[in-house]
Structure 1
Amino acid sequence: MKKTTYDKYPEVTVPGYDQHACRGWDAIIAELRPRMAEKTKTVLVIDCYPGVRLGELEQALQAEFTTARWINAETARRDEQALHALLARNLTDDRVFGVLSCHQLPEFFEPTALADLQKQVETAPEALVIVCGPGATLVHPGDVLVYADLPRWEIQMRMRSGELGNWGAGNYNEDILRRYKRAFFIEWRVFDRHKTPLLKRADYLLDTTVANAPAMVSGEALRAGLELLTRRPFRVVPFFDPGVWGGQWMKQQFDLDPMKPNYAWCFDCVPEENSLLMRFGDVRIEIPSLDLVLLHPRALLGEKVHARFGAEFPIRFDFLDTIGGQNLSFQVHPLTEYIQQQFGMHYTQDESYYILDSEPGAVVYLGVRSGTEPQAMFNDLRQAARGEKAFDDASFVNQIPARKHDHFLIPAGTVHCSGAGTMVLEISATPYIFTFKLWDWGRLGLDGLPRPVHLDHGEQVIDWQRDTEWVHEHLVNRIDVLAEGDGWREERTGLHEREFIETRRHWFTGPVTHHTDGGVNVLNLVEGAEARVESPNDAFEPFVVHYAETFIIPASVGEYRITPWGKGVGQQLATVKAWVRG
């Protein structure tokens, strides 16, 4: 298979701030030192996202600022038992699912201990006081404020390695699904609420993604870079992950590590999980892409989308690779009322499978076969879950041939999975982990543990009317030609009326004009080698995309044009575009 020029490390250059960033502890200390001499007494506050390596940070700064009073904010945090009692309702006993937290960070601290730290800062005779750790600004707002950040994907890698437990729990050896659950439902929600106002006023952002290789940028430059991203196309940094069912297509197509057994997922546009790379001169800063959503939701998402979803990016593009692999787990997503009532999430995971590529004989499992009796199917699933037999999928589930450029719509409540031999571009809403596995073909996870199934949840949400006839009529290749011009054709490919995402496919050999119409657009180049995104009035620099790359057009961009470019000239190209329906 021929490799593409798929860019695994897309970055944006922020002009005018070349001297505002530095890398390495020596350069960071050299930048901070003059700020320490601006007042008779200076309080340097370094607030941190949970997962930041505090030991590395403390070692570097304490070795330099030897006369400073050092205060660790975490010494005022409630103990593990008190935190568990506080969070028990949100944690639940389930291995995968909790309830979204509405906690505020001060609840995690013991008020008397916090007041004592505040008094220590106030009365300290030293000329420099350094307050460090998650929640440090609860101790003091900071004469100089540094916020230390890192992407969620890096946090997950540290969890998997055993380096990191949950904040305040020390559960380094606990099941990774339970550690992720606690972070997803509680910690990340709480700390996102905490850090948003801090990013708006921080003097510096400290990038702690790579161990012993920190980088720092001024708050002014960071905010200028984020504002720039609201006015131009951009990509987030994709990440790839093996899985028990993973395939070989992405490994070959994207030139990934050949030593990995497979790659199951690529999260190519999941801003809550992905990162952004911004270049300031010769320094590259990596931050969570969620920081852009938190600070500029209106310009990025558009007024109507922001009003509906708040500071959440509601559209997800990701890849599911089973070419040379196995079937995905057979699953269903919860109905809206169920996800609201059970988990506190206000919208559900409607989705679709766009087939980027497939092997002969590949299928998608979609909807129940006509005449299926719900109790008979669940009796069979429960026997399979107990290990008594394999699930008789052929008797209960439709298997529909899957060919390149087919589009299968999957509103919540529809049983589904892609079969072996498919390369899926999954276009979906973004509640992330609310998948109820019904059958996993008898497999163990990569951790050697049985993959969890959720039959009790699944039984509550399956829409049994989505049978063979209904699925073929409403969910398979609903293609309507909407418009044609010189060298282009626009097609509507879905999604179902129950889903809030609209999609369009454009085939083109010449320029195609698009408009955000006041809402964020997400696109993928699903056919052709290369294209260029241009502004008709030069509002942003031309942006080149390659085959299978997902890119984001902020709502504030307005009109833009996509045209064949480079190796794409002379080819027939195609994009799939998604946005939130008005």
Structure 2
Amino acid sequence: MSYLNFKSEYDRFPKTTIKNHKAFRGYDEIYCELNKKIDDSSVVVFDYYPGVDEKEVYELIKRFNFSLEINMHDIFKDGKTMTEQMKYNLTDDRVFGKMYYGNLVDFIDEEKLEEAQNKIKEQKESVIVYGVGAGLVSHGDVYVYFDMARWQIQLRYRKGMANYNVDNYDEDILKKYKRGYFIEWRIADKHKEKCFECFDYVVDTNVANDPKMISRYTFTESLKQLAQKPFRTVPYFDPGVWGGQWMKEVCNLDVNQPNYAWSFDGVPEENSILFDYDGVIVELPAMDLVLYQPKELLGEQVYSRFGAEFPIRFDFLDTMEGQNLSLQVHPLTEYIKKNFGMSYTQDESYYILDAKEDAVVYLGLKEGIQPTESKRQVI
């Protein structure tokens, strides 16, 4: 079935061009640039967002021949201890957790942290501190942050990647996502937000073995420019039980996939943003913009109500030639705050872009419906 009588012009990779700035592409270029800044007595910090491929980045670290290496895995509490500490927020539910409002340092062994800091003070030759939260040990002489978008992290979970510092490789994908959403990403964002002005460089690690690095000045200037004008985040698409065929044609997607149910085309919590630096495309989490320019992006009134959160989500839901959309039930604000620690709920508005002639939208329930029967049908 055809839905368009013209060729789709949907842009799956919307970019913002930043003039008079440069990006370094590939580990060779990154090595050459960093090597100019590092000498025999430098303290170098490689800080990671959880999800970054640490083995891949370590190949870069080995090229420098540092006299002392400090791995953050040796400073964090062990995985079992971390999981036990997260127990209240993880809950026993497969999907729903409770928002964690603590900090990354809560999961650090304080004695080991102090020991690492003292080693750096005593060391006279070059030092590298690397891993998630490396900036807690030192900001060093050269501070490089390796970043990644949440959607890419979710894709890596699906391929078997574990959550940070635990061996839950085979765990239910939704439980991995829950741990990331309610805990890991929250504390990682807090840490990153505090260190924005300390970075010397930021590295895009979304594509395996194809990193792109920009300076802190380029990073901050790009975000400032973006906050002042209209822009789009990079959409991503996912199948689902009700998924349809409409988005395949309209959004130029893979026709060999069975269906697409979701398009997330404006969810800064999980989408990314693309910057074009003279032909080198750098992908950053859209949350970097929310965290670094919250008032400029959201406005004073929205920021005062929600803080550095983007409280609106834009999705496409496709059921064309698929199944019926699921029953949508969302908690009241008071309930979601009390039970999940979240400050706002999901009120929804629908704009119907296309429909078959016999399409129907049901609003609410029929008269005389019994709650117990309705619950049984849903479960």
Q: TM-score, normalised by structure 2?
A: 0.96
The Cα offsets for residues 508-564 of structure 1, whole Å up to 9 and x where unpaired, read as xxxxxxxxxxxxxxxxxxxxxxxxxxxxxxxxxxxxxxxxxxxxxxxxxxxxxxxxx
Q: What one-letter code is carried by the residue in structure 2 that aligns with 1:41?
A: S
Task: Quote how far apart the aligned CAs of 1:380 are.
Answer: 4.4
**Structure with max Cα Rg:** 1
SS at match of 2:210: coil
Q: 1:381 aligns with which of 355, 366, 375?
A: 375
Contact 2:66 2:127 in 1 (8 A): no
Q: 1:10 aligns with which of 7, 14, 36?
A: 14
Provide the residue aligned with 2:30 in structure 1: 28
Q: Residues of 2 paired with 1:120 and 1:144: CA distance?
A: 17
Q: Residues of 2 paired with 1:259 and 1:125: CA distance?
A: 58
Q: Residues of 1 paired with 2:176 and 2:66: CA distance?
A: 38
Provide the residue aligned with 2:144 in structure 1: 146
Contact 2:238 2:263 in 1 (8 A): yes
Q: What one-letter code is carried by the residue in structure 1 that aligns with 2:79?
A: E
Does 2:53 correspond to 1:50?
no
Does 2:106 correspond to 1:102?
no
Provide the residue aligned with 1:265 in structure 2: 262
SS at match of 1:226: helix
Provide the residue aligned with 2:80 in structure 1: 81
Provide the residue aligned with 1:226 in structure 2: 223
Task: Quote how far apart the aligned CAs of 1:235 are.
Answer: 0.7
Task: Quote how far apart the aligned CAs of 1:250 are.
Answer: 0.3
Task: Quote how far apart the aligned CAs of 1:138 are.
Answer: 1.2
Q: Residues of 2 paired with 1:122 and 1:87: CA distance?
A: 33
Contact 2:271 2:286 in 1 (8 A): yes
The Cα offsets for residues 347-377 of structure 1, whole Å up to 9 and x where unpaired, read as 111011110100121112221123x25xx23
Q: Percent identity?
A: 49
Q: Residues of 1 paired with 2:29 and 2:165: CA distance?
A: 31
Contact 1:74 1:135 in 2 (8 A): no
Matches within 5 A, 1:186-225: 186-225=183-222
Q: Residues of 1 paired with 2:66 and 2:182: CA distance?
A: 40
Contact 1:236 1:271 in 2 (8 A): yes
Task: Quote how far apart the aligned CAs of 1:67 are.
Answer: 4.2
Q: What one-letter code is carried by the residue in structure 2 that aligns with 1:61?
A: I
Matches within 5 A, 1:150-549: 150-162=148-160, 164-370=161-367, 372-373=368-369, 376-382=370-376, 384=377, 439=378, 453=379
Q: Residues of 2 paired with 1:24 and 1:262: CA distance?
A: 35
Does 2:126 correspond to 1:122?
no
Contact 1:47 1:132 in 2 (8 A): yes
SS at match of 1:246: coil
SS at match of 1:89: helix
Contact 2:139 2:198 in 1 (8 A): no
> Alpha carbons of 1:68 and 1:260: their partners in 2 closer, same or farther (altered >3 Å)?
farther
Q: Residues of 2 paired with 1:339 and 1:377: CA distance?
A: 21
Q: What one-letter code is carried by the residue in structure 1 that aligns with 2:243?
A: G
> Alpha carbons of 1:146 and 1:13: their partners in 2 closer, same or farther (altered >3 Å)?
same
Q: Residues of 1 paired with 2:309 and 2:375: CA distance?
A: 35
Provide the residue aligned with 1:92 in structure 2: 91
SS at match of 2:65: coil
- The structure whose residues are more often helix, as a share, is 2
Q: Residues of 2 paired with 1:4 and 1:80: CA distance?
A: 48
Q: Residues of 1 paired with 2:283 and 2:99: CA distance?
A: 27
Q: Residues of 1 paired with 2:372 and 2:316: CA distance?
A: 29
Q: Residues of 2 paired with 1:358 and 1:380: CA distance?
A: 27
* Number of residue pairs matched by the alignment: 375
Provide the residue aligned with 1:481 in structure 2: none
Q: Residues of 1 paired with 2:8 and 2:372: CA distance?
A: 44
Q: What one-letter code is carried by the residue in structure 1 that aligns with 2:215?
A: S
SS at match of 1:132: strand
Q: Residues of 1 paired with 2:197 and 2:237: CA distance?
A: 31
The answer for unaligned runs of 5 or more in structure 2 is: none
SS at match of 1:332: coil
Provide the residue aligned with 1:134 in structure 2: 132
Task: Quote how far apart the aligned CAs of 1:332 are.
Answer: 0.5
Provide the residue aligned with 1:434 in structure 2: none
SS at match of 1:355: coil
SS at match of 1:319: strand
SS at match of 1:356: coil
Contact 2:242 2:261 in 1 (8 A): yes
Contact 2:66 2:128 in 1 (8 A): no
Contact 2:45 2:139 in 1 (8 A): yes
Provide the residue aligned with 1:537 in structure 2: none
Does 2:41 correspond to 1:41?
yes
SS at match of 2:328: strand
Q: What one-letter code is carried by the residue in structure 2 that aligns with 1:378?
A: T
Q: Residues of 2 paired with 1:344 and 1:102: CA distance?
A: 9
SS at match of 2:82: helix
The Cα offsets for residues 231-282 of structure 1, whole Å up to 9 and x where unpaired, read as 1111110001111210000001122011211101000000011000011122
